Structure 1
Amino acid sequence: MSFDHCLIRPFAGLRPRRQDAAAVAAPPYDVLSSEEAREAASGKPLSFLHVSKAEIDLPPEVDHFAPEVYAKSAENFQRLVDDGVLCRDERACYYAYRLVMGDHVQVGLVAAASIAAYDSNRIRKHEFTRPDKEDDRVRQIEALNAQTGPVLLVNAHNETVDRLLSQASEGEPVADVTGENGIRHTLWMIDEGETITHLGALFEAMPALYIADGHHRSAAASRVAAARRGKADAVDSAEYFLAVIFPASQMRIMDYNRVARDLNGLSEEAFLAAVAQRYRVMPSDSPVKPERSGVCGMYLGRRWYRLELLPGLLPSSDPVRRVDVSVLAEQILAPLLGITDLRRDTRIDFVGGMRGLGELERRVDSGEMAVAFALYPTQMADLMAVADAGEVMPPKSTWFEPKLADGLVSHVLD
């Protein structure tokens, strides 16, 4: 069997009927806890959460990674197909996917992305993955024989791609859903042969794509492909994974902030004095939302401070050490608070920018945490530079909004 090793290719998507799209579309599997998903899917039998978080249909004491969870997911998935809620397109195509969140708009391409390109690092990573999370996604793919959670990819600016997607999104959509969070998801089919060929050629000419979100999903797809390769019933669709590709210029990365449980034995006065050896510390009467790299907001003792990194402390060339999350770790978290392992240290927690600076105040004022840091968001250029260097970002460096919906289109492995 020979594989077509193009960077992306069209596929016959499995998607809800237009009239069912709003009832099916659901938040990504990894942004809701099981309890939140159970509540969100209550009274909504078509919600894709019954597939992506199938533990909600089992007793609460069942382990979320137990075999019966994946079996239930497959059962719920098949029922949506058997009932005609999910239907397979008759021919391979691309899809244009538009996200609207307030004034922010981004339009991307839904495609099947090459496992070979992922394995060779043409589709570039910037995060480590955890084996247990990979295992979960592998079991999910195998149980469904489909990839249902899209990987969020990014391409460098290409004016022609942007124009083609803009034109594709002018027609009648096959899905148009506004979620409870106000984010609008609209999907158009791109099935005209010349446009499909043109888009494929444009992407083939690109040296790289970048994973923005979905490292575990893409790693799991690679493992599934490797396990199936060479078997009698192997299919080449397994050599591709479900992806939505947006131009870097349209991506919106929000701040990913930090809260620390204690001051590592220091008094507030001693901690402030130590911080002042590395930053210019300025009290503020209002919350501090950093407007540039090198500036950090700190909330301590029910008061905000603006921190400006002192000259000469910002690394000049290292793409990982230059990002603000690394600077905070290098200047405050490790030397002053003794927090060196952001993946395992229970004294540190992370707060996505969607929750606002008020959430940082709440965590500290409640006594749960001792200090909070509001960070300047990682920039797409920084992420791409890290990936190009073959390096990885620190944990919890990027929080992308708006997020994709699960269930609008799936990639079946047959």
Structure 2
Amino acid sequence: MAKIVPFKAVRPTRDKVSLVTSRSYDEYSPAELASQLEYNPFSFLHILNPAYVNLQKISTNTRFKAVHLKYEEFKEAQVLKKETENVLFLYEIESKHNTYTGIIAGASIADYRNNVIKKHEDTLSYRVEYFKDYLYETGFNTEPVLITYPDQPALQDWIVKRKQKRPLYLFSSPNKDKHTLWRIKDPAEIAWLQQQFKGINSLYIADGHHRSASANMLYEQEKSSGNENLNHFMSFLIPESDLKIYEYNRIIHDLNKLSKTEFLDALSKDFTVKNRKQELWKPDRKFSFGMYLDGEFYALHLKETNFSTVYEALDARILYDKVLRPLLGIIDLRNDERIEYIPGSRPITNIKKMVDESEFEVGFMLCPPTIAEIKNLADNSLIMPPKSTYIEPKLRNGLVVYEITPDS
């Protein structure tokens, strides 16, 4: 039985929403970041990076405090304003190829701790600790955890009807995505939505494992304070059918001292290897892998496909067990500098270009895992290999803010 709650959100004023919201801070190149900060005084990036010129010269704690002060400045200047009552939001992102529609709400820390909200990725303790300190010092979060739920006909009917009403925001971002936000403030409508989620046994984190883990760690640290805002974390909840799951493809700097012939011969032990020449080939089914090596594409089809667990049958795990570890000597997928990852949302010509320019020796293309595989792992408390999924939608910073500091 899942629980969602409304909250007193902080959000941009209607006339400035397209100027305030930004992509995730990490997605900007230094040049793009400098340009945004120079020419857009309303960008939320000013809050996230308030001392960008001297960023390397200040401590982490000092930077977090500066983020909090800049955030308060935006509120005092009425660039951001706080709702006077608890609300939910219906939010839709329409990109060139996909449309994502879901509910922005507070998800329950208790559900997270009791495994009603299920996980499929491991977390790095230093990152969880870092973001926990960030939440504590800044007092807010603007990056909702992406959570998916099994499709619910009643919820879907409600979404279709609710979208017919006038939105709070309707704007386009520079990447040409269209964003629409509806505010849900009627107590009866909120209660109905909460009742619908009570009928859902399990929710699944799609993206944001570190964010949710950090919120849980902060709750554990500060629960004696009585601050009820710690009991929840901001989430964007979308049906499974709206989720877009991509693979992470792999590119490797060298063949671990193997010649091309030796490498192809070694692959043939576990795979049927077919040379596709110049065809831009990528797999369209499980147990098949694309490979780009020495100016040519190859199709690799696994010979033996009987596995005892869903974990062993994951394509990312198979590639590691059959190729990356035994042939290429890559043990640590997170930290080995010989391997890099390319989201499957990018064209495979990117991999071809990087190999052709001699920066890398070989590239591998995978099929994305299915939602059924992800749920099966989460239901059995199993963790996917690092960099197994790249999941959309990616949400904009500054559209909706969840304040962690107690309501005044």
TM range, smaller chain: over 0.9
Q: Which residue of 1 aligns with 2:400?
A: 409
Please identify, of 27-36 and 5-14, the stretch whose mean Cα deviation from structure 2 is larger: 27-36
Q: Which residue of 2 aligns with 1:248?
A: 240
Q: Distance in 2 between matches of 1:73 and 1:394?
A: 34
SS of equivalent residue, structure 1 residue 22: helix
Which of 329, 336, 352 in structure 2 is aligned with 1:338?
Answer: 329
Name the CA shift for 1:126/1:30 in 2 (closer, same or farther; >3 Å).
farther
User: 1:215 aligned to 2:185?
Assistant: no
SS of equivalent residue, structure 2 residue 273: strand
Which of 10, 15, 18 in structure 2 is aligned with 1:19?
Answer: 15
Name the CA shift for 1:379/1:403 in 2 (closer, same or farther; >3 Å).
same
> What aligned pairs does 1:319-330 form with structure 2 within 5 A after superposition?
319-330=310-321
User: 1:156 aligned to 2:150?
Assistant: yes
> What aligned pairs does 1:12-411 form with structure 2 within 5 A after superposition?
12-32=8-28, 36-56=32-52, 58-62=53-57, 66-231=60-225, 234-284=226-276, 285-310=278-303, 312-315=304-307, 317-411=308-402
How far residue 35 of structure 1 moved from its aligned partner, in angstroms, is: 5.8
How far residue 222 of structure 1 moved from its aligned partner, in angstroms, is: 0.9
TM-score under structure 2 length normalisation: 0.94
SS of equivalent residue, structure 1 residue 229: helix
How far residue 136 of structure 1 moved from its aligned partner, in angstroms, is: 2.4
How far residue 371 of structure 1 moved from its aligned partner, in angstroms, is: 0.4
Which residue identity does 1:20 align to in structure 2? K
Please identify, of 28-37 and 322-331, the stretch whose mean Cα deviation from structure 2 is larger: 28-37
Q: Distance in 2 between matches of 1:51 and 1:15?
A: 13
How far residue 68 of structure 1 moved from its aligned partner, in angstroms, is: 2.2
User: Does the Cα contact within 8 Å between 1:185 and 1:405 map onto a contact in 2?
Assistant: no
How far residue 42 of structure 1 moved from its aligned partner, in angstroms, is: 3.4
SS of equivalent residue, structure 1 residue 134: helix
Q: Distance in 2 between matches of 1:117 and 1:373?
A: 38
Q: Distance in 2 between matches of 1:298 and 1:42?
A: 43
Which residue identity does 1:112 align to in structure 2? G
Name the CA shift for 1:255/1:334 in 2 (closer, same or farther; >3 Å).
same
How far residue 210 of structure 1 moved from its aligned partner, in angstroms, is: 0.7
Name the CA shift for 1:12/1:216 in 2 (closer, same or farther; >3 Å).
same
Deviations 1:100-148 (A, max 9, x none): 1113112101000000111111111111111221122112211221222
Q: Distance in 2 between matches of 1:138 and 1:34?
A: 25
Structure 2 residue runs without a partner (length 5+): none
How far residue 51 of structure 1 moved from its aligned partner, in angstroms, is: 2.3
Q: Distance in 2 between matches of 1:72 and 1:208?
A: 38
SS of equivalent residue, structure 2 residue 147: strand
User: Does the Cα contact within 8 Å between 2:2 and 2:203 map onto a contact in 1?
Assistant: no
Q: Distance in 2 between matches of 1:88 and 1:122?
A: 30
Q: Distance in 1 between matches of 2:31 and 2:4?
A: 36
Name the CA shift for 1:34/1:389 in 2 (closer, same or farther; >3 Å).
farther
How far residue 40 of structure 1 moved from its aligned partner, in angstroms, is: 4.0
How far residue 33 of structure 1 moved from its aligned partner, in angstroms, is: 5.5
Deviations 1:149-182 (A, max 9, x none): 1111011111111222222222222222322222
SS of equivalent residue, structure 1 residue 59: helix
Q: Distance in 2 between matches of 1:36 and 1:130?
A: 28
User: Does the Cα contact within 8 Å between 2:2 and 2:201 map onto a contact in 1?
Assistant: no
User: Does the Cα contact within 8 Å between 1:287 and 1:297 map onto a contact in 2?
Assistant: no
Q: Which residue of 2 aligns with 1:10?
A: 6
Q: Distance in 2 between matches of 1:36 and 1:402?
A: 21
Which residue identity does 2:135 align to in structure 1? I
The count of residues paired between Structure 1 and Structure 2 equals 404
SS of equivalent residue, structure 2 residue 241: helix
Q: Distance in 1 between matches of 2:89 and 2:337?
A: 42
Name the CA shift for 1:220/1:351 in 2 (closer, same or farther; >3 Å).
same
Runs of 4 or more, structure 1, over 4 Å off, are 33-36
Which residue identity does 1:153 align to in structure 2? I
Which residue identity does 1:51 align to in structure 2? I
Q: Distance in 2 between matches of 1:314 and 1:37?
A: 49
How far residue 55 of structure 1 moved from its aligned partner, in angstroms, is: 5.0
Which residue identity does 1:283 align to in structure 2? N
Over aligned residues, Cα RMSD in angstroms?
1.8
Q: Distance in 2 between matches of 1:292 and 1:307?
A: 11
User: Does the Cα contact within 8 Å between 2:2 and 2:202 map onto a contact in 1?
Assistant: no
Q: Distance in 2 between matches of 1:82 and 1:137?
A: 25
How far residue 48 of structure 1 moved from its aligned partner, in angstroms, is: 1.3
Name the CA shift for 1:146/1:90 in 2 (closer, same or farther; >3 Å).
same
User: Does the Cα contact within 8 Å between 1:320 and 1:393 map onto a contact in 2?
Assistant: yes
Name the CA shift for 1:105/1:198 in 2 (closer, same or farther; >3 Å).
same
Q: Distance in 2 between matches of 1:313 and 1:210?
A: 27
Q: Distance in 1 between matches of 2:205 and 2:283?
A: 26
Q: Distance in 2 between matches of 1:34 and 1:322?
A: 40
Q: Distance in 1 between matches of 2:134 and 2:158?
A: 34
